[in-house]
């Protein structure tokens, strides 16, 4: 077949645009991540007329936006590139909500503990990386916002079922209210560990210990050389029928929490063993030939929109762990190097020539694309730089965010519901609809319970 001159020109242009990553060169890494973030911006609504600041286009939910901004703040820090600083600042401020607790009124009716928790992990990154502090008068610091989320999540601790733990959902009308899961509790665990390390307030470390112990007691986390981290269980049978899917984000969030605890306890033996065992499970379940993959869905090509972004937060947690628990560095570095190189090779598709794929084993783009694919490639490649700059800060090593240990406590779950209905009351028809829906769901729920 004769290739037309135009097509061969096109091929040349595309191969120039494809990502060519030298894993040992900072400028190559930052050029690659800039291209990948350009792909992320294609899904961003906030700078499009009529779009919402801090949100990505459908089908990407609010929680995923929170997750993706975390990888971009890391890149802002690791590449010392301020191009997205204003965009990130505006996004974090737009979605914090009127009580500065990441329960914005657009989300509260459907928001789960995991959604609020993942956003708070990102805001904690802003704290630890000394991201631009809120400038407007009277606005609390990022640290106070994380403390607000921590306080609210912990206030939802439910000792009446399964001996403790958070439920997945915050509100009774959402399906999943009867499910207790690892990600919600893992976020609370990690937030507590990070707040404890950052502020030096040992109350947080005690809460972290309590949440971790619960995860182990209830068998969501099974400690052994290669620890299991399962998804969760419903309270209907006292959390005994465990859903045994293993996802990289669950392993990652628990692993990161252990590494922060190890660091905050000045290297305790207990947390060293826990970190080793969770890492043992994570490396055995989510890597093949040192290349990361979402083993539960990727091989069968069944990863849904949410699952496609899990490797992103898992990658970030491997990086933090490598830094905060230095005995893991030799294990983690080759996993990061090999996976980052493989991910970069997958970023060679689409009309821009550098769209990233889901599967990093093929040495090429696999034809899949989306916000999750972009974010995973960004975060694994970010990690190549994680040892080049200072570790996550604390109050005593130069962090400048202002905190408030009692933030968020004035807002109760009932108030949140009340406030939503009040907001809608301006528009009476809207209020009627919301009330009808809420009552309808409550009635249905009751009928269902009676049956």
Ligand X SMILES: *[C@@H]1O[C@H](CO)[C@@H](O)[C@H](O)[C@H]1NC(C)=O
What is the binding site for ligand X (CB under 6 A)? 30-31, 34, 37-38, 52, 55, 79, 81, 83, 94-95, 104, 106, 130, 162-163, 201, 203-204, 218, 238, 263, 265-267, 323-324, 326, 391, 393, 398, 400, 405, 407, 410
Compute CA distances 127 → 69, 144, 231, 337, whole Å. Answer: 13, 10, 29, 27
With respect to ligand X, which residue has the nearer C-beta, 146 or 376?
146
Nearer to ligand X, 73 or 324 (CB): 324
CA 326 to each of CA 39, 222, 329, 388: distance values in angstroms, whole numbers, following the listed order: 33, 24, 5, 14
Which is nearer to ligand X, 38 or 273 (by Cβ)?
38
Nearer to ligand X, 24 or 266 (CB): 266
Q: Token match 């202002």: residue?
A: 402
CB-based closest residue to ligand X: 398
Q: Are 230 and 182 in contact (CB under 8 A)?
A: yes
Three-class SS of residue 306? coil
The terminus-to-terminus CA distance of the chain in angstroms comes to 69
Give bridge partners of residue 287 from the DSSP assignment: 292
Instruction: DSSP for 17-80, please give it.
Output: HS----TT-HHHHHHHHHHHHHHHHTTB-TTSTTPPTT-BPTT--HHHHHHHHHHHHHHHHHTT
Pick the closer one to ligand X by CB: 266 or 304.
Answer: 266
- Of 185, 143, 190, 202, give the one whose Cα is nearest residue 316: 190
**Residue 246 contacts residue 296 (beta carbons within 8 Å):** yes
Shortest Å, Cβ 288 to ligand X: 29
User: What is the enclosing helix (H) or strand (E) of 292?
Assistant: strand 291-292
CB of 346 to ligand X, least distance (A): 19
Of 30 and 187, the one with the shorter C-beta distance to ligand X is 30
Give 352's Cβ-side CA count (13 Å radius).
15
Nearest-approach distance from CB 16 to ligand X, in angstroms: 15
Q: Which is nearer to ligand X, 269 or 289 (CB)?
A: 269
Q: Which residue shows structure tokens 């609020």?
A: 116
Q: How far is the CB of 228 from ligand X (least distance, A)?
A: 17
Dist. CA 345–CA 364, nearest whole Å: 5
CB of 41 to ligand X, least distance (A): 8
Q: Please, are residues 347 and 19 in contact by the beta-carbon 8 Å criterion?
A: yes
Closer Cβ to ligand X, 263 or 277, answer by number: 263
Q: What tokens does 46 get?
A: 């906030």
> What's the CA gap between 422 and 407, in Å, rounded?
23
Provide, rounded to whole angstroms, the least separation between the CB of residue 432 and ligand X. Answer: 18
131 versus 314: smaller Cβ distance to ligand X: 131
Report, in Å, the least distance between residue 364 CB and ligand X.
24
Name the minimum Å distance from CB 276 to ligand X. Answer: 13
The minimum distance between CB 306 and ligand X, in angstroms, equals 19
Contact 343, 381 (CB under 8 A): yes
Whether residue 364 contacts residue 345, with contact meaning beta carbons closer than 8 Å, is answered with: yes
Collect all residues with Cβ–Cβ distance below 8 Å to 437 and sequence separation of at least 6: none
Of 211 and 291, CB closest to ligand X = 211
Taking the complex as a whole, the smallest distance from the CB of residue 96 to ligand X amounts, in Å, to: 9
Considering beta carbons, is residue 14 or 393 the nearer one to ligand X? 393
Min dist CB 294 to ligand X, Å, is 27
């Amino acid at each position: 077949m004769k290739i037309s001159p135009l097509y061969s020109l096109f091929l040349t242009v595309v191969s120039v645009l494809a990502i060519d990553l030298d894993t040992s060169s900072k400028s190559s890494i930052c050029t690659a991540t800039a291209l990948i973030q350009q792909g992320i911006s294609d899904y961003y609504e906030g700078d499009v007329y009529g779009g919402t600041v801090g949100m990505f286009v459908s089908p990407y939910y609010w929680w995923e936006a929170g997750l993706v901004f975390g990888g971009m703040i890391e890149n802002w820090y690791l590449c010392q590139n301020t191009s997205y600083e204003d965009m990130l600042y505006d996004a974090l401020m737009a979605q914090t909500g009127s009580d500065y607790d990441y329960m914005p009124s657009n989300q509260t009716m459907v928001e789960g503990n995991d959604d609020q928790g993942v956003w708070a992990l990102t805001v904690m990154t802003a704290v630890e990386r000394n991201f631009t502090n809120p400038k407007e008068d009277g606005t609390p610091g990022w640290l106070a916002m994380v403390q607000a989320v921590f306080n609210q999540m912990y206030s939802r601790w439910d000792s009446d079922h399964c001996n403790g733990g958070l439920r997945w959902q915050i509100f009774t009308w959402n399906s999943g209210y009867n499910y207790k899961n690892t990600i919600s509790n893992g976020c609370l665990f990690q937030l507590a560990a990070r707040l404890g390390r950052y502020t030096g307030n040992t109350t947080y470390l005690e809460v972290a210990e309590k949440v971790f112990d619960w995860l182990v007691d209830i068998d969501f986390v099974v400690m052994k050389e290669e620890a299991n981290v399962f998804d969760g269980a419903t309270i209907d049978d006292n959390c005994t029928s465990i859903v045994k899917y293993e996802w990289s984000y669950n392993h990652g969030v628990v692993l990161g929490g252990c590494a922060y605890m190890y660091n905050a306890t000045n290297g305790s033996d207990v947390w060293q063993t826990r970190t080793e065992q969770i890492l043992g499970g994570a490396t055995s379940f989510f890597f093949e030939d040192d290349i990361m993959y979402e083993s539960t869905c990727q091989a069968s090509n069944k990863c849904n929109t949410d699952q496609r972004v899990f490797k992103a937060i898992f990658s970030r947690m491997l990086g933090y762990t490598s830094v905060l628990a230095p005995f893991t560095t030799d294990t983690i570095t080759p996993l990061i190097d090999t996976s980052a190189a493989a991910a970069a090779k997958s970023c060679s598709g689409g009309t821009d020539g550098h769209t990233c794929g889901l599967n990093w084993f093929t040495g090429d783009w696999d034809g899949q694309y989306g916000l999750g694919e972009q974010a995973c490639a960004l975060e694994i490649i970010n990690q190549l730089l994680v040892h080049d700059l200072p570790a996550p800060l604390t109050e005593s090593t130069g962090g400048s965010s202002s905190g408030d240990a009692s933030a968020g406590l004035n807002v109760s779950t009932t108030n949140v519901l009340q406030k939503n209905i009040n907001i809608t009351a301006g528009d009476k028809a809207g209020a009627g609809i919301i009330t009808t829906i809420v009552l309808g769901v409550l009635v249905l729920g009751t009928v269902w319970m009676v049956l």
